[in-house]
Amino acid sequence: MSNNTPNEVQLKVKVFKILEIAYKNNGELTANIVRSKHPFTLTVTSSGTATLTGKAGNMTFNVSEETNSIGFDFKFASLQFFGSQNGQLRYSATFTIGFTSVSFRGIFDIEKFILECSGLVCIAARLMRERKNKIDAAIQGHTK
């Protein structure tokens, strides 16, 4: 990716991966921030330091592997999430790469994210969901 200014699709994948790294670092706090009905922000500096800030708290983590693949001239990313509604988050993002900015908006499906993401925390989240579904099914079976 380093030799071409990334397009919207490539950067949306980055957003997904950065949030996945947040989950890996601190799943509970990330879930609290992301699932909150309140807006939150995500910023990433040129050195790859990401900061997730919301009403539930804030956390800092390293995403330099992701920013390095955008290009050595990656400068800054600023994302605003507008609070969860029906499991979906609307967000706006601006990536500054060299002397150019790339802006886009998107919708982030939290449920889908938790179920599709890879990594230990996501696997745990999936297992918990499956277990919850099994418990729900058992309760439903029991109450019939």
Judged by beta carbon, residue 12 or residue 24, the one nearer another protein is: 12
Query: What are the φ and ψ backbone dihedral angles of 25, each rounded to 5 degrees?
Result: -75, -45
- Least distance to another protein, CB of residue 129, Å: 28
Residue number with CB closer to another protein (72 or 116): 72
The nearest distance, CB 7 to another protein, in angstroms, is: 7
How many other C-beta atoms are found inside a 10 Å radius of the C-beta of residue 108? 20
13, two tokens: 């994948």
Question: Which residue's CB is nearer to another protein, number 61 or number 95?
Answer: 95
Closest separation in Å from C-beta 121 to another protein: 28
Interface residues toward another protein, by CB under 8 A: 2-5, 7-9, 71-73, 80, 82, 90, 92, 94, 96-106
- CB closer to another protein out of 103 and 133: 103
Give me the least distance between CB of 63 and another protein, in Å please: 20
- DSSP notation for 12-57: HHHHHHHHHHHHHH-HHHHHHHHHSSS-EEEEEETT-EEEEEETTE
98 vs 73: CA distance, rounded Å? 5
Q: For 27, how many CA atoms within 13 A lie in the half-sphere containing its CB? A: 14
